[in-house]
Chain A
Amino acid sequence: MSAAALELPSVEDALALGLTRAEYELVCEKQGRAPNQVELAMYSLLWSEHCAYKHSKKLLRTLPTEGRHVVMGPGENAGAVDVGGGLVCAFKVESHNHPSAVEPFQGAATGVGGILRDIFAIGARPIAVLDSLRFGEPGPAGGAGGSAQAGGAGTRARYLLDGAVAGIGHYGNSIGVPTVGGEVYFEAPYEHNCLVNAMALGLAPRERLVRSAAAGPGNALVLFGASTGRDGIGGASVLASAELDHDEQGAAAKRPTVQVGDPFEEKKLMECSLELLERGLIVSLQDLGAAGLTSSACEMASKGAVGIDLDVAAVPLREPDMQPFEIMVSESQERMLCVVEPADLDAVLALCAKWEVGGAAIGSVTDTGRMRVFADGELVGDMPVSALVDDCPLYDLRPEKPARPVYGAPAATAGVTIASAPRAILLALLSSPNLSSRRPLYEQYDSIVQSRTVRRPEQADAAVLALPDGGALAVSIDCNARRVAADPARGTIAAVLECAANLACVGAEPLGTTNNLNFGNPEKPHIAWQLTEAVRGLGEACRALQAPIVGGNVSLYNEGATGPIYPTPVIGMVGRLPDARRAGRLGFARAGDRIALAGPFSPTLPAGELAKLLGWELPDGLPELDLAAVAAAQAAVRGAVREGLLASAHDIAEGGLAVALAECCLAGGLGARVELGAEFWAAIPPVVPGPSGAPGAPGPELLAGALFGEAPGGFVLSGPAEALERLAESVPLLAIGEVGGAGLEIATGAQPIAATLDELAGAHGALAGLFG
C-alpha cells in the first residue's frame, strides 16, 4: 500500500466520523489492524444509523412481511406486490429530511431522484410519486416568502415549503413521472426538523424483476450515469445521522456537501437501466444512494456472498484530484451499478453510450468475500464484506414511557373557542393550514403524465392509476402525527387505518404497505418508547388488514434544541380495484342523492384539529378502538364502491364530520342539507371530556365533538336511498341528509351551520397565501 494509505487515521478521526470508541475497536478487531483512511471512511458510513439500522433493525424484524400478494419483501431496494395480469407493483417511501432542511429545493429534488432509482433498480418503470411533508407553523398567510433569513413567524416554514414543493415538482415533472398524491402538515415540533418523505411506485412484468445480489466471480462491475464529484461527501454520516446543528457555523461548514439533482440525467439513466434489463444484459442492478459506491458495492457483494475488487481510477470524475476515499463515499446523484457477464460488457457499454450515460467497468466480482479497493492498481483498502455489512453492532432500545408530556400545548389560534358558533368553527378549520385545500401544492406537480391517472388530487381520497387489464391501482400516503404523539401505538394504527379507508373509498383492497419511521433520538428512553409502540401498532394494524410491510425506511435523530419532532411513522399503502371505471369519488355528484354517515364512529376532540386551534394540550393516550369493526366497515364501503352503488365516498378524518361534509360539497360543486336528529345523537356518541349535555340539547363540547371530533372508522357516503339502505345491512349506517342547495346546511338540534359554497371555497383556499 502507498505511504498515504498507510498514514493511519486516529481514533479521534473515527469519533468525528460518527463511530463510537467501541465500534472503532471492533473495526480494528475485524481488520486485525487499525483501518486506513479509505477503510475507516467506508466502515463509518456502513456502520452509520442510516445504513446499518443500528437502533431499529430488531424492531423491524417484528413486522409482518408476508402475504399472498407479496412478491418481494424488505431487503431489496423496493418491495413489490402482485397486481394481476402478470404485473407487479414495486413501491417504497424514503426520507430526505436533513438535506431538505439545509437546502429545501435540492434536498427534496434529490429525494425524489433517490426513491425513483430504488424503483427502477429492481426493474420496474416508475409510474407515480407521492410526497409527505412536515414543516413548522407557517404563520399568517401573505408574508414575504423566498428567503430563509427574513425574520417573522413562519418565515422558515414557508421558505422550506416553497423550496421543497418546487424541488419535488422540478424532479418529478422533468423526468415524466406523475406526482399523484401526498400530504402536508404544519406543526411546531417540525420547526427545526422538517420532514420530506417521498414515495414512488413502479410497474414491471413479474419476470423482469431483478435483485441486487452480485454473482459470478469474474463478472464485471459497471458504474453508469453521472460522473462522480465531491457532492455530499460525508453526507450519510454527517448530514443524515447526526442531530442538526443550527448555528451559522455549522450550516456554513456543511455547504459544500449540497447535492444537486439532474432529472434529465436520471431520465436517461432510467431508460438505459430498463433497456439493459429488457435485453437481458445484466446479472444484477443497484442504485447509488446514501454512502454512494461504498454502500452499493458492499450491499451487492454481501447479498451475493461474494467479494468485489474495484479500482477508483476507473471511476469517471467530475472534479480533479479526488482522493480514493472521496470517490468511495461521494453521493453524486444519478448513478447506478450493475454486474455484467464479460461477454455482454461491450453491449452494455454501447447501450450506455446510446443513452449518453457514461458507463465504465470499474471492477469485478471475486470469490474472496473481501471488498478490495485499488487506486490505479495499488491496493488502498481491503476489508471483509461481512464485517462491513453484517457486523455493525445492533443496539437494544431502552424504552420508557415519559412521565411528563414531551410536547407543549400548541399556541391557540385566535378567533374561535369551544363555544363559538359551529359555522365559525367550521370556517376556521377549513382555512387552517392543515385542512385547507392542497391545490397550491399539487398544481405544481404534473399528475397526469403517462396517461394512467384516473383520479387526480382532490377528486378522491386515494390516487387511482389505471392498469392495462382494466383494473386499477390505488395509493395513499398518510400519517396524523399529532395522534401518534398522543398515543404512539393507537396513533400509528389510526394512520394505517386512514390509508386503508382512503383505498376503500375508491374501491380498492390493500395489497401491501410501506413505511417511513421518522423519529427523534432513539437513545433517549421516551423516543425509544415512541418508536417501540409505533412499530407495535404498525404490525398490529397491517396484520389485521392483511396489508403486509414490503419495505420502508427509518430516519432517526430528528431533533434539535427545541426537542424532538412528533413521532411520524409515515404510511404508504397500495391497493387494487377490479374496474377502473368504478373508482370512487369524494365529491357529491347528484342533487337528490341521500347522504349517510357509515361505520363505527366515536369522535373525540382531544388530539384533533379543533383541539389544536383551541390550544389544547395533547391527551395522554387515545380511546380504545375496535380494529376488526373498522376493517369490516372498510370492507363494506369498498364492496359498495366496487358495485357502483355509491355516487361518492369520503372517509372522515381531520376536522371530523362537518369538515368531511364540506369537502364533499366542494369537490362536487354541490350543496347539502344535513340534519343531526335524535337518531344521530343516540347512535353516535361523541367521546367528550367532562360532562356532556343531554340528547336533543347538546352542550357546546358535545356539539363540537359530534361535528368536529375525529376518530377512525367513519365515512360520508352519498347515493340513491335504496343503495344506502342495502349497505346498512352490512355496516352501521345513518341517513343524515340530502345533496342539493346552494351551500352546506347542518341542523344540529342546537346552533345550526349554514355556509354557501363560495364561503366554504374561500376558507378552503387559504393555503395559496403561503406561497409568495
Chain B
Amino acid sequence: MTNQPLSSSNPRVDLEYRRRKNAEEMRYQVISFTLMIFLTFVAFGVVAIKGFTAWFVVPFILLLACVQVVFQLFYFMHMSHKGHEAPSMFLFTGVFLAMIMVWAFMTIIWW
C-alpha cells in the first residue's frame, strides 16, 4: 500500500537517453499511424471499387483490420513493452474467446 516510486533513482545521464528513446518511439508511432491510414484507405477502396467478389473482399478487409489493430495494440498501447505480460495474456484470452463466440454465432445460429 505504499506510494513510493519504485524507481526513484533518476540520474541525469538517463535523461538524454530517455528523451531520445521517447522521440524514437514517437517516430515509430507516426509511421504506424501512416500505415493505418493507408490500410484504411485500401479497405475502403476495395469496397468502393465494386469489381471484386465478396469471397475476396471480406477476408481481405478483415485481415487489414487485424493488422491495424496489431499496430494499435503494440505501438499506440505499448503492449510490446516490458511489464505487459499479464495485460497481453488477459487481452489475448479475451480475443480468443471473442473469436470462438463470433464463430459460434455465425455457424450454430443459422435460421
Q: Does A associate with B in a complex?
A: no
Hey, which bits of chain A sit against chain B, CB under 8 A?
Answer: none
Hey, which bits of chain B sit against chain A, CB under 8 A?
Answer: none
